[in-house]
């Protein structure tokens, strides 16, 4: 009964204390793509992605009911940094959903006009500078996009009605609130923020119409520059779904690992009758409550522990011995890399190592794929070069009856005979096309897509069936795979070269594919461009199969990796090559338009469908070749 009454009280006080409108909430995941298009269309940096912001403690004044309920202490603020536009995961500020949606649009427009250098020094300056910067950004957005002015006015009027009235606040807080209201109503009219004079004064109420400083990442205090072995591990499932950015810092591991228990209560020990058999978790097991705990923290503190857990041994990131690793072909190929911050190309910065699988035994097409392969061969036979009748030719083996009738009708109508052809000619049609398939073999391909298959298994089946389909067309094609371990070791696996047939040797290499290390796409694309550039073909297609964004354990991550990959793709287009990406990354819509353009990629939502989708996609891309 006590718990039941407590649950009723908790639900009632929580709902009563709320000042937002959850029934009218608009969620970022529902309009994330739309906001990305709006942000880039209004002039925002195309390299930035749109993601959810984390809740942060604001310290503003709350009502008595909110203090009793312990709610409304945290809020998610819109923020902009050099890599990401962070927006609240949901907005329920206003009672009408259209207003909450308009607020998302306004924040995207504000960030597009502000630029990536907005609030760059806000962490080290006074709050007045932050207010001035937001007013300047507001003026710029309204000046560049006058059509947003009515929407902005409606949002300001609705927001002022939702905020605490200055009359109900102490004098110093009231002065700050009045300044905020004036800055919202008349951007550019407030040059400074009145100071707080009381020791217990509350902070400013959150301003949903403005951008806040991005959460800073404190300096590292790690003892060495070696990468953490856990950096390649998968994040907890909850954190992957939220993908929020938190303020973080590094610190030293506390030396006292077993502090003395100062207080002891004998009644806290379970008796034999109270014993319950539970599954005792190991230290290596993921904590299901870790994501929820992180949600309630303003700053995540990380410490490096020198001790190793004996039950957690990972060998998949260690380099194998030369006798066990795949066979290397030559000393390696030096390749450049693009430094987007310095706007320079670093010559011979990477070394790409061509390789072939050591344990690749020649084998036929697997029995389970043969029926599907026969079906694809029949479908793709229509794309193979055949002899076709060409109409209206100046000469040929037979008369073109339709052309003759048309010419006679034109003469009777008084039209001058233009010399159009009146013959049919039987000539073979040609498909002068070359395709190179570049498969991502990074460590993430070891993840399962269902109870039976991993991503790498799906890639193997896709290459097997795709090769059989391409054999039916007569097109030139090649298969390569790649992964990387820092810039000095970009692994480039040769599966089938242009001058080699798709035989049992190539199928054996496909079957021997295994997950590698990381994803340095730029170097792999540059090498693929070099290979395609040597192929004499009128049309050349670079088809990239990937399951994630560019990443490596050195500096190749975030914006750096994306911009280097984009530069490599630009170089490919300048060489007359058409790149196209097929990905199973559900977050690919945030960065792929910047890399490949709006029509240069496709996202396969169900990875197990890739073997079926890939040949059909190729037919669509090259059907008119």
Alpha-carbon distance 492 to 500, whole Å?
17
The mean of the pLDDT values for the chain is: 78
Architecture of domain 329-381+431-622: 3-Layer(aba) Sandwich (3.40)
pLDDT at 606: 84
Least confident of 250-264, 347-361, 448-462, 574-588: 250-264
Give the tens place of pLDDT for each residue, 469-488.
Answer: 888 887 889 999 999 999 99
**Residue 249: count of CB within 10 angstroms of its CB:** 15
Average pLDDT over every residue of 14-36: 83
Regarding pTM above 0.85, the answer is no
| Domain positions in the chain | 2-185, 329-381+431-622, 387-428
**Three-state SS annotation for 258-299:** CCCCCCCCHHHCCCHHHCCCCCCCCCCCCCCCHHHHHHCCCE
Residue of 132, 138, 164, 137 lying closest to 151 (CA atoms): 138
**Direct distance between the N- and C-terminal alpha carbons of the chain, in angstroms, rounded to an integer:** 75
- pLDDT band at 429; cut points 50, 70, 90: low
Average pLDDT over every residue of 543-568: 90
Confidence check: pLDDT of 264 > 60: no
Least confident of 92-96, 293-297, 378-382, 468-472: 293-297
**Residue 87: count of CB within 10 angstroms of its CB:** 27
Least confident of 288-297, 308-317, 360-369: 308-317
Alpha-carbon distance 579 to 601, whole Å?
9
* Structure tokens given for 262: 């100062």
pLDDT at 316: 40
Q: What percent of the chain shows pLDDT beyond 90?
A: 25
Residue of 224, 229, 270 lying closest to 250 (CA atoms): 224
Alpha-carbon distance 414 to 140, whole Å?
65
| Cβ(351)–Cβ(522) below 8 Å | no
- pLDDT band at 531; cut points 50, 70, 90: very high
Alpha-carbon distance 586 to 439, whole Å?
18
* Structure tokens given for 206: 């959150």
Q: What percent of the chain shows pLDDT beyond 70?
A: 76
| Cβ(124)–Cβ(56) below 8 Å | no
- pLDDT band at 623; cut points 50, 70, 90: low
Residue 379: its H or E element = helix 367-380
SS3 399: strand
Residue of 418, 552, 569 lying closest to 482 (CA atoms): 552
Residue whose tokens read 């061969």: 377
Average pLDDT over every residue of 478-505: 93
Average pLDDT over every residue of 42-48: 81
């Amino acid at each position: 009964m006590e718990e039941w009454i407590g649950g009723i009280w908790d639900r009632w006080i929580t709902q009563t204390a709320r000042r937002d409108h959850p029934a009218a909430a608009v969620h970022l995941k529902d309009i994330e793509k739309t906001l990305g298009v709006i942000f880039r269309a209004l002039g925002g940096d195309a390299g930035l992605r749109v993601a959810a912001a984390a809740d942060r403690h604001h310290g503003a004044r709350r009502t008595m009911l909110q203090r009793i309920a312990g709610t409304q202490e945290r809020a998610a603020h819109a923020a902009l940094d050099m890599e990401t536009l962070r927006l609240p995961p949901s907005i329920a500020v206003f009672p009408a959903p259209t207003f909450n949606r308009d607020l998302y649009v306004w924040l995207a427009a504000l960030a597009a006009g502000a630029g990536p250098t907005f609030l760059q020094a806000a962490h080290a300056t006074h709050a007045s500078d932050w207010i001035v910067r937001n007013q300047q950004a507001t003026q710029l957005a309204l000046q560049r996009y006058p059509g947003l002015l009515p929407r902005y006015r409606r949002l300001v009027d609705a927001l002022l009605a939702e905020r605490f009235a200055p009359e109900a606040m102490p004098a110093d807080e009231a002065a700050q609130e009045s300044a905020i209201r004036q800055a919202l109503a008349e951007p550019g009219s407030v040059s400074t923020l009145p100071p707080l004079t009381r020791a217990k004064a509350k902070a400013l109420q959150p301003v949903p119409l403005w951008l806040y400083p991005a959460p800073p990442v404190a300096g590292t205090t790690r003892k060495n520059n070696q990468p953490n072995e856990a950096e390649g591990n998968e994040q907890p499932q909850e954190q992957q779904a939220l993908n929020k950015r938190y303020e973080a810092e590094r610190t030293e591991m506390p030396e006292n690992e077993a502090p003395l228990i100062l207080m002891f209560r004998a009644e806290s020990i379970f008796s034999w009758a109270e014993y319950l058999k539970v599954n005792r978790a190991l230290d290596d097991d993921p904590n299901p409550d870790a994501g929820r705990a992180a949600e309630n923290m303003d700053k995540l503190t990380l410490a490096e522990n020198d001790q190793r857990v004996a039950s957690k041994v990972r060998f998949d990131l260690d380099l194998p011995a030369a006798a066990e690793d795949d066979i290397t072909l030559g000393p390696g190929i030096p390749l450049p890399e693009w430094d987007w911050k310095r706007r320079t190309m670093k010559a011979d910065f990477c070394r790409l190592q061509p390789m072939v699988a050591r344990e690749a035994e020649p084998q036929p097409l697997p029995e389970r794929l043969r029926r599907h392969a026969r079906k694809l061969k029949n479908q793709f036979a229509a794309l193979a070069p055949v002899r076709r009748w060409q109409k209206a030719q100046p000469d040929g083996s037979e008369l073109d009856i339709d052309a003759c009738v048309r010419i006679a009708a034109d003469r009777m109508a008084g039209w001058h005979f233009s010399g159009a052809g009146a013959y049919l000619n039987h000539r073979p049609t040609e498909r002068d096309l070359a395709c190179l398939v570049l498969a991502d073999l990074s460590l993430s391909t070891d993840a399962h897509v269902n109870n039976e298959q991993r991503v790498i298994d799906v890639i193997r089946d896709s290459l097997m069936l795709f090769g059989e389909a391409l054999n039916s067309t007569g097109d030139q094609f090649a298969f390569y795979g790649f992964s990387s371990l820092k810039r000095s070791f970009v692994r480039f696996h040769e599966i089938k070269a242009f001058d080699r047939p798709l035989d049992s040797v190539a199928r054996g290499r496909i079957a021997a594919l295994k997950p590698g290390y990381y994803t340095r796409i730029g170097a792999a694309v540059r090498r693929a461009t070099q290979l395609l550039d040597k192929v004499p073909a009128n049309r050349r297609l670079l088809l990239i199969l990937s399951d994630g964004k560019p990443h490596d354990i050195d500096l190749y991550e975030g914006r750096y990796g994306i911009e280097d990959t984009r530069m490599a793709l630009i170089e490919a287009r300048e060489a007359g090559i058409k790149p196209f990406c097929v990905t199973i990354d559900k977050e690919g819509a945030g960065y792929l338009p910047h890399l490949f353009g709006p029509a240069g990629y496709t996202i396969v939502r169900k990875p197990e469908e890739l073997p079926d989708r890939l040949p059909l996609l190729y037919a669509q891309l090259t059907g008119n070749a």
